[in-house]
Amino acid sequence: MEDIDFTHPIHIHFIGIGGISMSGLAHILLDKGFVISGSDRAPSPLTQKLEKMGCRIHYPQAAENIEPGTDLIVYTAAIHPDNPEFKAALASGIPMATRAELLGSMMKQYRYSINVAGTHGKTTTTSMVSEILMAAGADPTLSIGGILDSIGSNVRVGKSDIFVAEACEYTNSFLSFFPTTSIILNVRPDHLDFFKNLDNIRASFREFARRLPDDGNLIINTDIENWTYFTEGLKCHVITFGSDPAVSDYSAKDITFGHDGCCSYTLLYKGKPGTRISLRVPGSHNVLNSLAAIAAVRQMNISDEAIQKGISNFTGAERRFQHKGVYHGAHVIDDYAHHPDEIKATLDTAAHVPHREIWLVFQPHLYSRTKLLMDQFADVMANGADHVILAKIYAARETDNLGISSQTLADAVNARGGDARYIDTFEGIEKFLSELPLDNDLLITMGAGNVYQIGDALLSGTK
C-alpha cells in the first residue's frame, strides 16, 4: 500500500472495525482528521465510542457499505474471501490493505516506534511500557491489545513522536511493521493452524528482529531456547533480560511475594543491584515482563523514578487476572489465557493467592489449537486446578471439522488424575456453580472468547 500521511488525511473504510486493534487504529486516525467509516456484525462499546467521535459504521457487513470516493479499504485476517463486503471491495478497484499494513504505515509517522512481540505477555508488557512513558511525561501514542484501566481504553493519542504498539505474529502480521525498538518476550508453539510448527514460528520472529534499523534496539529474553538464533548477524543494539544474571543485562534478585500474589524484587543491571521494583499485578511471570519494559524505556533515558512510578501505576489490563468480585464467598477472577503456557502462568499466580480450592472454568479457543496442544492443556489443568469445568470450544475463525470437542479435553484431564467435566452451555455452567459451596475458593473464568460472561452473570445475581 502507499504510505498514509498524517498531514494529508484521506477517507479510510474498515471492514471489521469493532476489533480491539482495528478500533484503536480508527480512533487514532479520527483524531488526526481522517474520514473514517467501517462495518461490523453488531454494535459494541468500541464501535459506539467511534460513532461518538464521528465515525460512520454499518451493521452488518454488506456489499453496499463500500462507498464511492473511499481512498483506502482496510480488513483483518478474520475477514474471509467470501465475505460480501470484501468481495465488493475487491471489485471496486479501491486500494486495499491489511490491518497490519496500515499499522506499519502509521508507525513510519513517528520517530520512535516501540513494538512488543512474543507468544504471551504482549498486552501486559505494552501496558507497562505505556505507564512508564506516561509517568515520565513522554506523552506517547498507544495501541494496546486490551483495555488499560488508567486511560479507560485500548488507545491513547499523544502529541509526541513516540508510538507504542503490540506486534502480533499471527499470519506474519508483524513483518509489516517498522519498529525502532522491538521486544521479544518469548517464542512458543501457537497459531499452529498457520505456522504448522515451532521452527516456522522461530523463523518468523527472527525475520521480525531483522526489520530493525542499524541504530535500533532489540530487547530479547535469554530464557528463550537458543536465543542467539534471533540475534545472529544483527547490526542493531541487542539488550537482554532474563532469569539468569550471568547472561542477561537485566535480571532480578530477592524476589518476594505479597499476600495478593504480587512480586517485589531488586533490579539488576549487568549483575549490579539497583532500585527496588514493586509490581501491582500478580504472578512471577510478570517479573520478566517488567524487566523487558524497563530495558526498553531505559534506552530512551527514562529515569528510575519514572520507572518505579509507572510500574506502580499499572494495576493490570482488563482480562489479565482481573478480580471481578465475590460470589458465594469465592473470589471471581477473569483471565484471557488460552494457551497452555498462559494457563500455567495464571494457575501458578493463583497458587500464591490465599484460597481453599481453585475452580477453573475454561473455554478452549479454536479447534486447531485445542487438538494440536491437547496434551499440554490437559497437563497444566490436571496439575494446576482442583476442579475444571470446560465450556464449548470457541470457534472464532474456524469451523468444527477436526472431530474433537471439549469433552475430549475433559477426558484427557481426567486421565491424568484431574477432576474435569464438560458442560455445553453457559447457563448449565452457571447453574452448576450456583449449587456449590465455594467459600474461600478461587473461581477463575478463562479463555479468549466470551467466557467472562459466566462470572458476570453470577456476580450480577442473575444466577
Identify whether 122 is a catalytic site residue.
yes
Identify whether 342 is a catalytic site residue.
no
Give the residue carrying C-alpha cell 544483527: 234
Q: Are 446 and 361 in contact (CB under 8 A)?
A: yes
Identify whether 371 is a catalytic site residue.
no
CA distances from 250 to 239, 242, 272, 305 (A): 8, 7, 9, 17
Q: Which of 85, 122, 125, 181 is catalytic?
A: 122
Q: What's the rounded Cα separation, in Å, for the pair 385 and 220?
A: 31
CA distances from 98 to 95, 133, 171, 425 (A): 11, 29, 11, 35
Could you tell me the three cell numbers for 91?
471489485
Q: How far, rounded to the nearest angstrom, does the alpha carbon of residue 340 sit from its chain's CA centroid?
A: 15
Q: Which of 123, 180, 240, 445 is catalytic?
A: 123
Could you tell me the three cell numbers for 156?
491513547
Q: What's the rounded Cα separation, in Å, for the pair 126 and 100?
A: 17
Q: Which of 85, 131, 166, 430 is catalytic?
A: 166
Q: Are 347 and 337 in contact (CB under 8 A)?
A: no
Residues 6+ apart with CB under 8 A from 24: 143, 144, 154, 155
DSSP of 392-434, one letter per residue?
Answer: PPB-TT--S-SS--HHHHHHHHHHTT--EEE--SHHHHHHHHH
- E strands, 1-132, are 11-15, 35-39, 56-58, 72-75, 96-98, 112-117
Catalytically active residues are 122-123, 166
